[in-house]
Copies of this chain bind each other. A is one copy, B any other.
Amino acid sequence: MKTNLRKYRFEQDDLSQQQLADMIKVSRQTIVAIERGDYNLSVKLALLLARKLNTTVEELFQLEEKDYV
């Protein structure tokens, strides 16, 4: 799962991981894991993140080759 959450976190509001985590009520480790991209979050979190960062799920997360079926 490719993501540019980190880019948006900085460019949009310059939030810390902790601030972003608090905004959507998850742990900071969850944000870390998502940014590392090795991890398949729920669509609910994805929608909340996209909403907070004024963008879309598709813009924030992209499938990679290995994800296609």
List residues of chain A with CB under 8 Å of any chain B CB: 1, 23-25, 40-48, 50-51, 56-58, 61-63, 67-69
- B48 pairs with A45, CB closer than 8 A: no
Distance from A41 Cβ to chain B, minimum over Cβ atoms (Å): 5
7 contacts between A and B (CB under 8 A): A40-B44, A47-B57, A47-B58, A47-B62, A48-B67, A48-B68, A48-B69
The verdict on A25 contacting B58 (CB below 8 Å), with A44-B40, A44-B63 known, is no
Residues of B within 8 A of A43 (CB): 1, 40-43, 45-46, 57, 61
Residues of B within 8 A of A68 (CB): 48
- Closest 8 CB pairs between A and B? A57-B57, A43-B46, A25-B69, A40-B42, A40-B44, A43-B43, A47-B63, A41-B43
